[in-house]
Amino acid sequence: MLTRMLLTVGLVTAPPPVNQPAWELIRMHDHGGCDSMSAVVPLSRSDVWVFGQSEPIDDECAGTARPVAQHWDGRAWRAAELPGRHYGAIGSAGASSSDNVWAFTTSDTGESAALRYDGRRWTDAGRSAMGPRPNLSRGLVLGRHHVWAFGSDGHSASWFWNGRTWQRRAPRDVVRTSAVSQKDVWAIGCCQVTHFDGRAWKKAGFPAGRDKGTVSLTGILAVAKNDVWVFGDRDEKVFAAHFDGRAWSPVEVPAPAAPAWRLGDAVADGGGGIRVIADPPDDTSSRVLSRSAAGQWSVSTPQVAGKVIKLWDLALVPGTTEVWAAGTVRQSESDSTSAVFALR
């Protein structure tokens, strides 16, 4: 079981990158405040959505953020007009086609929204059916009639979009999600892994017993039914585990020899390997750990003229080995600029 197999692994020194491609700065945009891009959704190289937030500098990034969205059509970037007057950030986004794009806002006020783009305009997709004050933490788009939303309405909750309205489902504490198909969906909460087989959600048997209080899950990636990854930390040491369809096995992760590193969003690299965001405990830039299909690790860091860069989301351009990243470039303690990078 995963409980027994997910042992804390030591931090190993990563070898220097060999023929590792460099990150390219694709877009920096100042919305006029403390800006950050938190989600990227590439449908192709010429059809990419990025989402995030902007907050007035005079508020010192103190909680009056508004969601923002931009689209790349292969020639130019254009700002998107989002519906309503929503506050907060877009915490996650996804798409099954160019006319079925979703973005999920999260807000300290508990007034989140599920926004949908139909190829012409953005609309608020039936938030009233979720209850009076839903606070969404994560969304997962698997088709026009198959969208999940997770969050709370005073208690942990989940909702399912059937193409017409939202249906409340069993409570589910979800931090991140990843799916192979509509009938092979994985999710993590703080301390457990769950799986949806098309009929019901079931726990994957982790964690249990005395280890529960020491484990924190921070990332999950489902590439295939026999290729699933989870990331997290135990006693301030990072770990990863891989599921081959039968059992979980621990995998050593390269990281600097320092405690409290955090592994976040992960994505397939299109060539049989994976990439995962690694954040240091101090105020330095995020790294991207890459593991090849042969099991070799390398480390890369996007760079912008000596600025601190934080990454929040990775996404693979379908049919390629090109990965895009959404994040922020720290200009000062009270100012940041949204940024988009690509590893081609």
Q: What is the pLDDT of residue 161?
A: 95
Q: What is the pLDDT of residue 15?
A: 41
Distance CA 25, CA 130 (A): 38
Q: Please give the model's pTM, rounded to 2 decimal places.
A: 0.90
Q: What is the pLDDT of residue 20?
A: 61
| CB proximity list for 282: less than 8 A, separation 6 or greater | none
Beta strands in 189-261 (DSSP E): 193-196, 201-203, 215-224, 227-234, 237-243, 248-251
List per-residue pLDDT tens for the chain, 344 residues long. 444 343 333 333 334 344 567 899 999 988 777 789 999 999 999 999 999 998 776 655 555 788 999 999 999 999 999 997 777 889 999 999 999 999 999 876 667 889 999 999 999 987 666 776 778 889 999 999 999 999 887 778 899 999 999 998 887 789 899 999 999 999 998 788 999 999 999 988 664 434 444 778 999 999 999 999 999 887 778 889 999 998 888 898 886 545 678 999 999 999 999 999 999 988 899 999 999 999 999 999 999 988 999 999 999 999 999 999 999 998 877 788 999 999 98
CATH 2.130.10.10 is held by the domain 2-343 = yes
Distance CA 94, CA 103 (A): 7
SS3 94: strand
Give first-to-last CA distance, the chain, whole Å. 37
SS3 33: strand
Tokens 């994976």 belong to residue: 274
Q: What is the pLDDT of residue 212?
A: 47
Strand order in the sheet with 100-106: 89-97, 100-106, 114-117, 122-124
Parse the chain into domains and list their residue ranges.
2-343
Q: What is the pLDDT of residue 2?
A: 43
Q: What is the pLDDT of residue 207?
A: 45
Q: What is the pLDDT of residue 208?
A: 40
Q: What is the CA radius of gyration of the chain?
A: 19
Q: What is the pLDDT of residue 238?
A: 87
Q: How far is CA 120 from CA 44, 100, 176, in A?
A: 18, 10, 29
Q: What is the pLDDT of residue 121?
A: 96
Q: What is the pLDDT of residue 6?
A: 39
